[in-house]
Structures are given as structure tokens and as C-alpha cells.
């Protein structure tokens, strides 16, 4: 009896399971990028599996040093990835599917067939599947013939005009700073960059923790998985040369000659993928030995402080504009500055359109020539591809006829925002060498570079830019200035020269007398503050738009000022220094009049008269001009009208 019931129940359950539920739909397609769904059946493809689980990295902002931030972010991300990917990794191994696991973003690179898409997208722990296309980076082509050490310019023009030598003279040359070259690779033993390689001690090379190759097949002249730094294109060698190149002789081609570089090849002969870019970002955030395990051997204490990215991953070639967003944001959260070229798609507006330049977490750089003109090819903002209308670039830097080193021991001049970005990466190295506490403080690094830039206006009107707008969507905040940026490190609230008030000429300790005009090279002393080109005496500055010649009130929103000076608001008598009050024309006045009495601020004999507290001055002052009675000025309580008698008395007095 019981056996029969069991059989019947099992049969019913089986039948019910075979009947589709009402309203149930096959939703796995929604997780798969359309370009993957368009692939032919059984076609070999590679794609990224983005997992659902994310780490909470919010505590990183509370940590005081860059090393602590890096360790925290690395530990959290690797822990999350290891735990959440475990079941899927076991499944892929069981099926014999080629894959690579990432921790910087909780994702895996999978090599398989289209038949895998439904199986993986149907999993609850998978968020989405996105393509991993091979993307030809927007970088200059290598020269057809072998360049030679000719046209030596000693210190190159881009280094000179951005005032890097002046920063060197102060003792800031990039010492103690590590910059990551995320590019086509590097010719590590080129005479201009060998002494700057962290893996070189002057006699022997150690590539562990200093070099990684993310190209695992192909690789051109370097082959795949090169165990030593190698450049199969030339672009990576050229860009790192602009960051720090110096052969010790007449080739001073770099911004920060005493900085150190570590490298990762993210492109195969100029062609990269989102996966190769992610792999290199992981290496720069937590380097590991050649052939090592990024999860087990990664060491965030050896990370880069700055990463230069002279490449783009355009959505037009299949690169999802969100593919690298989380990657770059996590790197920044770890306290590493991500610098990127804006792109070479100008001169139209909204041509900053490719990751990583489009992101708010990236410091993007446009290109100018030696005349401070924007390069025609330099991409303009605002960013519209992600719907943000974000202003880009952040700043501009030399990017035309930039001479740097190339594989084979030579040098050549190239054009591109690829050449501009490393100038800014080198500037960041100078800043950190001037103030090592900037390691991990990406916000302050970016603020220093932006606010010290030499402002340049434009008439191109991108994003609604006005003729006098700075920042704008062509130059950003202006052209980078190394000396001014270094000088502005000392601009703080203690000397009333805040970062926001720093000019491109930097801060000065020169005392300036009250009332003397101050300009971009002159600042007030510690008791004064410079506002709108004039030195204002005593106290802290009020809100933007107020000018204090004395002190601020308790709210720090209104100026307390003596007779005859502007007060913050005609409706706030407290804006004047006692016993003065604020008259109805926005000035401080001493003479207090009763309601109904005329006030006449244009008459020198009765200047500065004012209504009693609680009263307001209505109408315009008559002074020496005749006004109709309705326009006469008299004292009244708020909402009242001055008496006709007092108004007529004013008019008669004005005509005598």
C-alpha cells in the first residue's frame, strides 16, 4: 500500500516538473552580451564570466597609508574571488575547459564554445557574460626603419616647458617612486631606462615581481610568456622613456629620472583584450614572480604607485564600456593613481569615448604642441558613451613631436595622447618624491595636478564650454606644470593658501600688505587672504563670492565690515561690524534713522545713513537727481511704505 502511494506521488512530481510554469521565461539570454549570442554554433570563443558577489572595500578609505590600503583591498578581493568562484572552477576543470581566474574583478576568462553560454549564464552565481575581443589599441605605428640616436635635444621640449628641471633643482626627481608601464612591453636594457628598472641593481637583473607578460600565445618577436621584459612594438619603451628616461648623458627624455619602473605587456604587437588589461592591472597592484600565482604570490607591498596607460579599449571594437570600470575603481581604491591617454579621435567633441580614459576614477590627459595649442587628434569631452556627460580630459600635456627611446637603442619623435599621458605619470612621481605621504592619497595627487595646471581657454564649445571656462572639455584644467604642482604641496589651511586657491605659479611666502593686489605669483601673508585679486585682512575667507575686509560672522557666511564697505546681504544687519548696520543698498552705515525719515546715501553730507534695526530702506536714493515721489528713499519697517511726507521732503531737499 505504502509502496503504491510512493510510486504515485513520484509519478505526479515527475509530470508536474515536465509542465512549464505559467509566466516562466528562459532568462539566461539576458545575462549574455548580444555579440556573444551572435556567434555561430560550436564556434570557439573566449569570454569573461562576471560573478555576482562583490567585496565591500569601503573601509580602505579609512586607512592612513597606501600600503595598508593596498593590502586590505588585495586581501578582500582575493578572499571573495576564491570563495565565490570555487564551485564554478571545479565545474570548468571537470569539463576540461581552459580558463583563467581573476581577483581584481570577480571574474574568469573562459575559452570554449558557444554551447557553454547557456550552461554558465543559467548559474545563480553568475552575473553576466561579456566578450573578450582582440582590440587594436589606438597607438602610433612603429617607424619603418631602425631609429638612431640623432637630433639630440638634451632635455626634451616637453620636459622643459612643463618645468620639470625646476622641480629637479629642488631635489625632487622621482626618487622612491614606482611607476607601472602598462603597454606593449619594454626593452629593459635600453641605456635610457635600464638604470630606472627596479629589477636592475647595476650588475644583475631580477625580473621576479618586476615584470609580467599577459600574452600567452603569439607575441611577435617576443613570443609568448616572455620571462624577461620585451617590447614587440616599441610603444611601451617610448612611453616609459617619457616618464623617467635618462641615459646619464645628453638624452634627458623623462620627467622623473630617479623613479623606478616595473612593466607588464598587455598587448600582442599592439593588440590587447580586456583580459590582458585586467591581468596587468592585477600585477601592478600586487606583483608576483615570473610564472607565479597572482592569488598566492601577489605582494601588494611591491605595487606601483602610479600606472601609465597609453592605450584605449573602444566599444566600437567590441570592448564593453563597463568592462574595465570596476577594475580601475578597485585599483584607485587601493591608493594607486591611474593615468590614461584621452585618445586620438579628435577634433570633434565627445570623442573621449574609450576605457579607461572615460572613467571618473581615471586621470585622463589630452595632447598639446610646443605652442600650447591643442593637437587636432586629441580627443575632446564630454564623455557621452556612458551617458555621464563627464568633463574630460582632466589636464593636457605635451603630445606632439615627443622624442623618446625605442627598442634597439635608438630614439624617435612620435605624436599622440599616448605621449602626453606619461608626462603626467612622471609628474605624479615628482610629487610623491617631494611628499612621500602622497602615496595612496589619489585625491590629493589629482587635485595638485589639476589646480596647478596652467589654465587655457577654448572657443570650441564642447559640452557647452564658454569662452572663459576653465576647466573645459578641450584642455581640461589646463597644461600641467611640474614646479607649480610641487610648490602647491605646501598650500594648506594653515597659511590660508588652500589647494583651491593655488595658482599655476604656486604659493609664495612673501607677505603682502592689506589692500595690495595679489596675482598668480603673489600671495598674502599668514594673516591675510587673497580673494578676487585683492588681499583681504584678517581671519578666514567667507564663502566664494564674499569679500571680507575684516572678519566673518559666526556662520562664516557673511562679512563683518566697517562703514562704507560692502556687506554680505542687505537683509542681514549682522553682516556689519557693530555698531554699524546694513542699509537697503547693501552697504554698512553708521547713522541710524527712525522709520519714516528719508535716507540719502548718494548725498556726501548724509552718506552712510541707515534705517534703525528692523527697518529697511525702500526705493532708490534720490541724491542729486530728481526722482518721482514713488521712487524716493525712506525708512520703513519691512513691508511698509515710506510716508509721502518724508518722500516729498527728500525731493524738495534734493532740488535745493
CA torsion 231-236-237-240 (nearest 10°) is: -150
- pLDDT given at position 43: 79
Task: Report the relative pairing of strands 107-113 and 98-102 from DSSP bridges.
Answer: antiparallel
Assigned fold of 27-131: Alpha-Beta Plaits (3.30.70)
DSSP string, 108-139: EEEEEETHHHHHHHTSTTEEEEEE---EE-S-
Residue ranges of domains in the chain: 27-131, 154-487, 583-656
Distance, C-alpha 96 to centroid of its chain: 42
Mean pLDDT by 10 residues, the chain (656 residues): 38 35 59 87 88 97 97 98 97 96 98 92 95 79 47 81 96 98 98 98 98 96 97 97 95 97 96 95 98 97 98 80 93 98 96 96 98 98 96 98 96 97 98 97 96 95 96 98 90 41 42 47 45 45 42 47 44 43 48 60 45 55 32 53 35 26
Distance CA 366, CA 345 (A): 11
Portion of the chain with pLDDT greater than 90, in percent? 62
- pLDDT given at position 5: 35
- pLDDT given at position 432: 98
CA neighbours closer than 13 Å in the CB half-sphere of residue 358: 26
- pLDDT given at position 545: 40
Asked if residues 146 and 205 have their Cβ atoms less than 8 Å apart, the reply is no
Architecture of domain 154-487: 3-Layer(aba) Sandwich (3.40)
Distance CA 382, CA 398 (A): 21
Distance, C-alpha 112 to centroid of its chain: 37
CA 457 to each of CA 382, 478, 482: distance values in angstroms, whole numbers, following the listed order: 15, 8, 20
Annotated catalytic residues are: 183, 235, 418
Q: What SS3 state is found at 581?
A: strand
Amino acid at each position: 500500500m505504502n509502496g503504491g502511494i510512493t510510486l504515485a506521488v513520484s509519478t505526479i512530481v515527475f509530470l508536474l516538473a515536465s509542465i512549464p510554469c505559467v509566466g516562466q521565461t528562459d532568462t539566461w539570454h539576458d545575462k549574455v552580451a548580444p555579440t556573444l549570442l551572435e556567434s555561430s554554433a560550436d564556434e570557439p570563443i573566449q569570454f569573461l564570466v562576471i560573478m555576482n558577489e562583490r567585496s565591500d572595500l569601503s573601509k580602505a578609505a579609512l586607512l592612513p597609508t597606501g600600503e595598508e590600503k593596498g593590502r586590505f583591498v588585495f586581501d578582500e578581493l582575493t578572499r571573495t574571488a576564491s570563495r565565490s568562484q570555487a564551485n564554478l572552477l571545479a565545474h570548468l576543470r571537470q569539463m576540461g575547459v581552459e580558463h583563467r581566474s581573476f581577483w581584481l574583478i570577480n571574474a574568469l576568462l573562459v575559452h570554449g564554445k558557444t554551447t557553454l553560454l547557456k550552461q554558465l549564464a543559467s548559474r545563480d552565481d553568475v552575473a553576466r557574460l561579456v566578450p573578450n575581443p582582440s582590440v587594436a589599441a589606438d597607438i602610433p605605428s612603429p617607424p619603418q626603419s631602425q631609429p638612431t640616436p640623432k637630433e639630440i635635444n638634451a632635455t626634451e621640449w616637453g620636459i622643459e616647458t612643463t618645468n620639470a628641471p625646476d622641480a629637479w633643482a629642488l631635489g625632487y626627481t622621482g626618487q622612491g617612486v614606482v611607476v607601472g608601464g602598462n603597454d606593449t612591453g619594454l626593452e629593459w636594457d635600453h641605456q635610457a631606462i635600464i638604470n630606472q628598472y627596479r629589477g636592475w641593481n647595476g650588475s644583475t637583473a631580477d625580473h621576479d615581481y618586476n615584470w609580467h607578460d599577459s600574452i600567452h600565445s603569439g607575441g611577435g618577436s617576443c613570443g609568448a610568456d616572455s620571462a624577461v621584459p620585451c617590447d614587440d612594438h616599441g610603444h611601451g619603451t617610448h612611453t616609459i622613456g617619457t616618464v623617467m628616461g635618462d641615459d646619464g648623458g645628453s638624452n634627458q627624455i623623462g620627467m622623473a629620472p630617479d623613479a623606478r619602473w616595473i612593466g607588464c605587456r598587455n598587448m600582442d604587437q599592439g593588440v590587447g583584450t580586456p583580459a590582458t588589461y585586467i591581468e596587468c592591472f592585477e600585477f601592478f597592484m600586487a606583483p608576483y614572480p615570473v610564472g607565479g600565482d597572482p592569488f598566492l604570490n601577489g605582494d601588494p607591498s611591491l605595487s606601483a604607485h602610479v600606472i601609465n596607460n597609453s592605450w584605449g579599449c573602444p566599444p566600437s571594437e567590441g570592448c564593453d564600456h563597463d568592462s574595465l570600470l570596476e577594475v580601475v575603481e578597485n585599483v584607485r581604491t587601493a591608493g594607486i593613481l591611474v593615468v590614461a591617454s584621452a585618445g586620438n579621435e579628435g577634433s570633434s567633441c565627445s570623442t573621449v569615448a574609450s576605457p579607461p580614459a572615460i572613467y571618473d576614477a581615471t586621470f585622463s590627459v589630452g595632447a598639446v604642441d610646443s605652442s600650447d595649442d591643442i593637437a587636432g587628434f586629441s580627443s575632446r569631452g564630454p564623455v557621452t558613451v556612458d551617458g555621464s556627460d563627464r568633463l574630460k580630459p582632466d589636464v593636457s600635456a605635451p603630445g606632439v613631436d615627443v622624442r623618446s627611446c625605442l627598442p634597439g637603442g635608438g630614439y624617435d619623435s612620435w605624436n599622440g595622447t599616448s605621449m602626453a599621458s606619461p608626462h603626467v605619470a612622471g609628474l605624479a612621481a615628482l610629487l610623491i618624491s617631494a611628499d612621500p605621504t602622497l602615496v595612496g592619497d589619489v585625491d590629493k595627487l589629482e587635485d595638485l595636478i589639476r589646480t596647478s595646471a596652467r589654465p587655457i581657454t577654448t572657443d570650441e564649445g564642447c559640452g557647452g564650454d564658454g569662452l572663459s571656462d576653465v576647466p573645459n572639455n578641450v584642455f581640461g584644467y589646463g597644461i600641467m606644470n611640474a614646479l607649480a604642482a610641487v610648490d602647491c604641496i605646501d598650500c594648506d589651511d594653515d597659511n590660508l593658501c588652500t589647494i583651491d586657491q593655488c595658482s599655476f605659479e604656486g604659493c609664495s611666502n612673501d607677505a603682502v600688505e592689506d589692500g595690495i593686489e595679489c596675482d598668480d605669483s603673489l600671495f598674502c601673508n599668514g594673516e591675510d587672504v587673497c580673494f578676487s585679486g585683492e588681499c583681504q585682512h584678517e581671519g578666514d575667507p567667507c564663502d566664494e563670492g564674499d569679500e571680507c575686509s575684516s572678519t566673518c560672522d559666526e556662520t562664516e557666511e557673511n562679512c563683518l565690515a566697517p562703514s562704507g564697505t560692502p556687506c554680505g546681504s542687505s537683509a542681514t544687519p549682522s553682516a556689519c561690524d557693530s555698531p554699524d548696520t546694513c542699509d537697503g543698498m547693501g552697504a554698512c552705515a553708521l547713522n541710524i534713522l527712525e522709520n519714516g525719515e528719508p535716507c540719502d546715501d548718494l548725498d556726501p553730507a548724509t552718506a552712510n545713513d541707515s534705517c534703525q534695526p528692523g527697518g529697511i530702506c525702500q526705493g532708490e536714493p534720490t541724491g542729486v537727481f530728481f526722482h518721482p515721489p514713488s521712487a524716493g528713499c525712506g525708512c520703513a519697517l519691512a513691508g511698509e511704505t515710506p510716508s509721502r511726507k518724508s518722500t516729498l521732503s527728500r525731493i524738495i531737499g534734493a532740488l535745493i
